[in-house]
Amino acid sequence: MMESGCVAPRPLPGTPCGRRTDTNLRVCTACVHRIRGLLAELPHVYRSCEAALARRPQPLTSERVSGSRAPSLPINEHAMAARTELLEVVAAWSALVADEFRQPRPRSRTIEELSLFLTRRLPLLLAHPAADDFTSELYTVARNARRVAHGDTGRHRTVGRCTHAGCESEVTVRMSVGDPAPQHVRCEAGHTWPPQQWLHLVSQLRATQLRATQLRATQLRATQLRASNAARHGSGRNQARSG
């Protein structure tokens, strides 16, 4: 059993989680939940990129090539690149697992099959020396694909930690520019809240924040009390020596 810091990145790119791991995995329990949720979400993100391929199309244009005129299709190149990158990264890690651990290869090279393959063998990857590379690449391609799928007009705001038991992921609210109303509320592990649950979520987040504030205040008072007691004891010893 190993005890070390979690190597999975936090929602901020390049920032490791750092929470203690007390299993043979290199990732803490909360991040395992996040990664499982992310793998389960990948097929939806991939299909959303497919839907974004034709978003905001430009008028068909013609270019002269070797004396002919060829029409260019109004394809969203960012969506195409994000979709391809997502599939390639998941396929590459699936191949590594199959080769290194002598696992049967996925039946097909679809995002659904590859995501399921990695989910079922996640402990193997998260105990591997390359676990940090796997989680970092997975988060990066998923984040890029989400941005493309949701378009470029959204704003994101982090509002607190997930309220689901055992999940410590950040909860993010997505809003459209010019519209202050939330459009989508989810955490990094894939938990979502429909509009009818938003008021309850706000109440839970405020209660959690209040408890955290009270805990910090209690810890600060305890620290100040210890410092005060230490100062009094030190003064008493000095007076005793001088007497």
Report DSSP letters for 187-233, one per residue: ETTS-B--GGGHHHHHHHHHHHHHHHHHHHHHHHHHHHHHHHHHHHH
For residue 147, the model assigns a pLDDT of 81
Q: Name the one residue in this structure whose structure tokens are 């989810």.
A: 186
pLDDT in tens, 27-39: 988 889 889 999 9
Task: Report how far residue 72's alpha carbon sits from residue 60's, in angstroms, rounded to the nearest whole number.
Answer: 6
For residue 68, the model assigns a pLDDT of 46
Is the model's pLDDT at 206 over the cut of 90? Answer: no
pLDDT in tens, 86-103: 999 999 999 999 999 999
For residue 66, the model assigns a pLDDT of 46
SS3 161: strand
pLDDT in tens, 99-154: 999 999 999 999 999 999 999 999 999 999 999 999 989 988 998 888 888 764 45
The region of weakest confidence among 73-82, 151-160, 217-226 is 151-160
- State the pLDDT confidence band at 65, using cuts at 50, 70 and 90: very low
> What's the rounded mean pLDDT across residues 218-233?
79
- State the pLDDT confidence band at 198, using cuts at 50, 70 and 90: confident
For residue 85, the model assigns a pLDDT of 92
What's the pTM? 0.59
Q: Which of 118, 145, 120 is nearest to 134 (CA)?
A: 118
Q: Which of 46, 53, 22, 39 is nearest to 137 (CA)?
A: 39
Proportion of the chain above pLDDT 90, given as a percent: 27
Is the model's pLDDT at 25 over the cut of 60? Answer: yes
Q: Name the one residue in this structure whose structure tokens are 């391609």.
A: 141
Task: Report how far residue 135's alpha carbon sits from residue 35's, in angstroms, rounded to the nearest whole number.
Answer: 8
> What's the rounded mean pLDDT across residues 194-219?
83
Mean pLDDT over each residue of the chain, to the nearest integer: 79
Q: Which DSSP symbol is given to 24?
A: S
Pair of tokens at residue 125:
């990857």
